Amino acid sequence: MKLGILSRNRNCYSTRRLREAAVSRGHDVKVLDTLKFSIDLEQGEPDLFFRSKQLSHYDAVLPRIGASITYFGTALVRQFEQMDVFSANSSAGITASRDKLRTMQVLSRHQLGMPATTFVRDRKDILPAIERIGGAPVVIKLLEGTQGVGVILAESVKVAEAIIETLQSTQQNVLVQKFVKESKGKDIRAFVVGDRVIGAMRRVAQGTEFRSNVHRGGKTEPVDLDENFCETAVRAAQILGLRIAGVDMLESTSGPQIMEVNSSPGLEGIELCTQLDIAGAIVDYIAAQVDFREIDLRQRLTVSRGYGVSEIHVPEGSEFVGKSIDESGLPERDINVLTLYRGTTVIPNPRLKRTLEPGDRMLCFGKLEQMRSMIPDRVRKKRRPKVGELPETEVVHDAEQRAAESAGE
């Protein structure tokens, strides 16, 4: 295959290893500096230029996008997606993983362990929010920090409040997280490729430090992860749209708790620790996927007018309960059930004879009008946009005010 590694630094360990792994497997590989691309848009013809020359054909790209160039980097990956070039990680996945709040928001609707987390703006809300997550001590994090910078342990509510206010006064957004005591100074990095954890390590902080980042002096040891940790890591990566990811988890008494997901995980730490050929596994995986691209379902399926993707809930007492999908009348109405969510279980492509249970959620593709008619009447009425007329006096008032303002009054 012809593989492009999108990286600014061809000499760093990860890029070098990935390139070597591709070369040794006989692939045609180029390291392409992310910032040397131009993105051209024209009707029906998304295009890319590299160092001002039209880019030749690539079978796949592997984005290694640094945090400081997320905007341009994800725009570039999105362009490859529009041009039907396989990208090992999706642009949406990279974007979601870049911000700790966004990651947690996307993951929190799924049944995955995570430390209770809160995001507040008004100082009056800080105290109640800390109480809701179980009180001090709490961990305070900058949304876009990495390598342990901007992660602070606050022993008391007073200290927490002071830190949060200080950070906010410098226009920094912070999230507040329950401190998982039993995991103090330790965390797990699971390296996910496709639907497998191909290697994992435990990082252990030194001395009194509670952050286990290697950049903070943390030491690593290889671990054999149990099924629960592997499953959690793989699902988190999948939900975010990442096929290659470093998933960081705390080992709490109630099982794995996800802290963050990295979309360009470094290879040096994990390869040296586990002595596994991680780079080789990544390249082999991409080569096997090239002809079997995953596509952005929503983007593709919503192009026919009136058709789209929607979720249908089966609440307690619904007429669907106890009926099979076939009997529910969905197929008759031209609605396909793509995935069935039942508690913590995900059932892709459910059989038509599968019986529906209260609490089920079905991800469906079909006529939007038909799917809308399945939502209870009360909710549906509220959703329909109503356009009334503005009271005349207010409109005049505002327009006058604006005119006065722009006249410098």
Contacts with ligand ADP, residue ranges (CB under 6 A): 115, 139, 141, 145-149, 151, 177-180, 183, 187, 210-213, 248, 250, 259-260
Of 178, 177, 199, 179, the C-alpha closest to 188 is 199
- Which partner from the list Mg ion, ligand ADP, none does 81 bind, CB cut-off 5 to 8 Å by kind? none
- 110: phi then psi, degrees, rounded to nearest 5: -105, 165
Number of residues that bind Mg ion (CB under 5 A): 1
Q: How far apart are CA 2 and CA 206, in angstroms?
A: 43
Site residues for Mg ion, 239-258, by CB under 5 A, read 248
Residue 77 CB, nearest distance to ligand ADP (Å)? 21
Burial 149-177 (b: 16+ CB within 10 A, else e): ebbbbbeebebbbebbeebbeeeebbbbb
Residue 20 CB, nearest distance to Mg ion (Å)? 27
207 Ramachandran zone, left/alpha/beta (phi>0; psi -120 to 50): left
Q: Closest CB to ligand ADP among 187 and 271?
A: 187
Q: Closest CB to ligand ADP among 146 and 302?
A: 146
Q: Which residues pair with 279 in a beta bridge?
A: none
- Which partner from the list Mg ion, ligand ADP, none does 250 bind, CB cut-off 5 to 8 Å by kind? ligand ADP
Q: Closest CB to ligand ADP among 176 and 340?
A: 176
Of 401, 385, 400, 322, the C-alpha closest to 354 is 322
Q: Closest CB to Mg ion among 213 and 336?
A: 213
Residue 210 CB, nearest distance to ligand ADP (Å)? 6
Residue 172 CB, nearest distance to ligand ADP (Å)? 14
Q: How far apart are CA 126 and CA 159, in angstroms?
A: 12
- Which partner from the list ligand ADP, Mg ion, none does 139 bind, CB cut-off 5 to 8 Å by kind? ligand ADP
Residue 71 CB, nearest distance to ligand ADP (Å)? 19
Of 98, 90, 176, 163, the C-alpha closest to 130 is 176
